[in-house]
Every structure is written in structure tokens, then in C-alpha cells.
Amino acid sequence: MIEIIPAIDLIDGKCVRLSQGDYTQKIIYNENPLEVARMFADAGIRRLHLVDLDGAKAHHIVNHAVLERITSGTDLIVDFGGGLKSDDDLRIAFECGASMVTGGSIAVKDPDVFSSWITKFGGEKIILGADVKNEKIAVGGWLETTELDLMPFIKNYIQQGINKVICTDISKDGMLQGPAIELYRKMLLEQPDMYLIASGGVSSIHDIELLDESAVPAVITGKAIYEGRIKLKDLSRFIINNL
């Protein structure tokens, strides 16, 4: 049964969503992220994907106080990402209660540092963020598409101990037009033991059902919940079966 992981994206300490990573297409959904996190926890959800968009711009952790408020104010298992570039950033994130951290651009730009995190903290605490466009890895807030092919990139880090991979198809993110089902099926054919976390494009319960039928282990969803396309009560069957 697929694991449901709601997302909270942070700018200026507020809960926002972007479309295709574009900071000019920002919608503020709630000025109190802890309130949103408690809403998820009250619905029985166990995991939260928390993204520091200010940190992503600043290239270092920024919204650690919000992280700490959420982890101390709920029982949610939080994975935290956005701008984590140094061992000090990870120290702060873990001290503020993150159970896991996600590294994306750094796994491309500074693979030695990312590999050192896997060695130091273990593959269970480090999630690989693989943002993709036409099966090529993208970085820098999706402004730059590299020549790195998706599957060899992922395989390299799986061989180093990574198990959890968040894959976001840039063309889908925030567009509410459905997730990249075929891409995820292809990925799981090549790496069936990978804990693949689908991200981007989820617009309805039907999309989650399709991902579940495709044996995708987990899905991140944000905008569809905030805009009422997916009701938390409609997620209950997935949540109950994962308890």
C-alpha cells in the first residue's frame, strides 16, 4: 500500500506552493505551517516532506525554526530539504528534529560531500532527490538540465547505500495534470528494491490509485490537498492500511 507524504514548502516561514519551481508563481496557503502539520497529523498521516525554499535560494538552511516547531509540536516523521550544502546544515536539521534529509543539487554538484553524508549518517537518514526533465537530471531550482541520465545517476548512489529516492518530473510539478506514471514504472523495473517516492502532478485520488497499482512505494502531494482536489478523509484508506 502506497505511503502518503504531504508536502509543506516554506518561504518566509509560511506554507506556500510553487508551479514548476518558479518563485514568481507563488501561492501562500497558510501563514502557520505548524497548523497545517497538525492537520495532517490529526488525519493519521505519519510522514511530512518539508522543503526550505528560502534555503534553496540561499544555499544554506534558513527555516530551521519552523522545522523545530513542527517536530516538537507533532509526532510526524519529517524529512527536510532545500539548500542543505554542508555538514553544519545537516547538524542543524537533525538537531531541530528532522528524521531524514533530502539532497538534490548537491548530489550532482558536489558528489563527494553527498557521499560523505551517506557514509556518516547512513542510507536510512539520507534521501536522494532526483529532479528530472526528459530523463535528464535537473538542478538549481530546475533552471539547469544536466547531461546526467536519470537511472545511472540513481544507481550510483544506491550502490553507496541510498534506498529512498524522491523523483520529481519537473514538467508535472504543481501543474495538477497527473504524475509521471510510465517513468516511475520504468524506474522500478530497473531498481525494484528502491523506495521510490513519486512527486509532482498528483491532482486526484485516482492519480494516487494509479501509483499504488503501479507498486510505487510512496507519493508526495501538496497542491492537490491545499486546493481541495484531494480531501484528507479520502486518503484514510491508504493511511489506515499503512498503520
Catalytic residue numbers? 9, 131
Question: Nearest to residue 49, comparing CAs of 32, 72, 33?
Answer: 33
- The DSSP bridge partners found for residue 139 are 144
Contact in structure between 85 and 62 (CB atoms under 8 Å): no
Write the single-letter amino acid at 19: S
Work out whether the CA dihedral 239, 194, 167, 90 comes out positive or negative. Answer: positive
Cα–Cα distance, 153 to 177 (Å, whole number):
26
State whether residue 169 is helix, strand or coil.
Answer: strand
**DSSP H or E segment with residue 41:** helix 33-42
How far, in whole angstroms, is CA 90 from its chain's centroid? 16
Contact in structure between 229 and 203 (CB atoms under 8 Å): yes
